[in-house]
Amino acid sequence: MANQYYEGIGRRKRSTARVRLWTGGDGSIVINDKPGEDFLSREGDLHLATAPLRAVAQEAAYNVTVKVNGGGVTGQRDAIQLGIARALVEIEPEWRSTLRQADFMSRDPRIKERKKPGLKRARKAPTYTKR
């Protein structure tokens, strides 16, 4: 019988991450078919993305596979973090309070503001010229 997995979906800005935590793992992380260290190559990004596993002391208990698309590096990292936290709550509902106190369970609602007519960007107005 194949190992069982638990799934969580995380979103941030324009990024969406589908995270699966496989039982009986050794702590390996695969993101978009690449090792986690190669995909999140900026220093500290992988550490931040997997912080929910450390918060509940389960960093070596599960193998993590992620499919992430959209957005940039930071948005993808935070989407992965939320997806991992949601998958952990699916495994053990008692971890919800621990993860909420560590601020891993709330989605960051900030997104890009739309451009308004007559402006250069969302809020930047053209330069005023007197003559």
For residue range 73-116, what is the model confidence (pLDDT) as tens digits?
A: 999 999 999 999 999 999 989 999 999 999 999 999 998 999 99
125 lies in some domain: no
Residue 71 lies in a domain: yes
Residue 119 lies in a domain: no
Whether 108 is in a domain gets the answer no
Tokens 């699966």 label which residue? 20
Domain assignment present for residue 112? The answer is no
pLDDT confidence band for 51 (50 / 70 / 90): very high
Is 73 strand, coil or helix?
A: helix
Q: Half-sphere exposure of 79 toward its Cβ, with a 13 Å CA cutoff?
A: 25
Supply the DSSP symbol for 117: T
Q: Is residue 122 part of a domain?
A: no
In a domain, 43, yes or no: yes
Which whole number is the average pLDDT over 35-61?
Answer: 90
Can you give the pTM of this predicted structure? 0.88
The residues, any chain, with a CB within 8 Å of residue 81's CB and separated by 6 or more, are 10, 48, 49, 50, 51, 52, 104
The CATH number given to whatever domain includes residue 26 is: 3.30.230.10
Please tell me the distance from the alpha carbon of residue 94 to that of residue 31, in angstroms, as a whole number. Answer: 27
78, part of any domain: yes
As for how many domains the chain has, the answer is 1
Per the structure, the complete domain to which residue 52 belongs is given by 5-101
The percent of residues above 70 in pLDDT, for the chain, comes to 98
pLDDT above 80 (res 68) = yes
Half-sphere CA count of 54, side-chain side, radius 13 A: 8
Confidence label for 61 from pLDDT (cuts 50, 70 and 90) = confident
Can you say how many angstroms the Cα of residue 11 is from the centroid of all Cα atoms in its chain? 6
